[in-house]
């Protein structure tokens, strides 16, 4: 296809400990599944390794959250921030003047309920994936 470069395909393993993103059969991101959030603004200030370094060492104005428990989303908003942030990190390495169409495959545990599956789907779609 002539416009294949407009599509971006990623596979994501949302793990309780680490999140891994694959692109073209290669690992492009492997970071701890943790988010640091400013208590006053509610905005994400760090993800992954940077947020892990803040975990239990932060000031009272910053809280760290592990958005997944037992392989499923426990905090929907934090999970969405984490997915969106990690996708931005991957995209920063592959800059393009065109907006890409993101196709995202996310692995989930086989015993997940419909509600848990829907939470992963919604978080991924809100982060820009299809």
**How confident is the model over 78-120, as pLDDT tens digits?**
888 898 898 888 877 665 544 567 788 888 887 788 888 888 8
pTM: 0.82
Determine the average pLDDT of the residues in 46-66. Answer: 88
User: Alpha carbon of 44 to those of 50, 80, 94: distances in Å?
Assistant: 12, 10, 22
Domains of the chain (ranges, CATH numbers):
4-33+65-126 (3.30.420.40)
């Amino acid at each position: 296809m002539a416009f294949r470069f407009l599509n971006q395909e990623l596979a994501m393993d949302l793990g309780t400990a680490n999140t891994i993103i694959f692109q073209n059969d290669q690992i492009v991101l492997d970071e701890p599944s943790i988010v640091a959030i400013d208590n006053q603004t509610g905005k994400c200030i760090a993800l992954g390794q940077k947020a892990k370094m803040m975990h239990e060492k932060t000031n009272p104005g910053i809280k760290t959250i592990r958005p997944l428990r037992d392989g499923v989303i426990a905090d929907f908003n934090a999970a969405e921030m984490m997915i969106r942030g990690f996708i931005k990190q991957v995209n920063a390495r592959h800059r393009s003047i065109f907006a890409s169409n993101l196709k995202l495959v996310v692995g989930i545990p086989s015993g997940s309920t419909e509600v848990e599956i829907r939470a992963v789907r919604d978080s991924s779609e809100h982060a820009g994936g299809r």
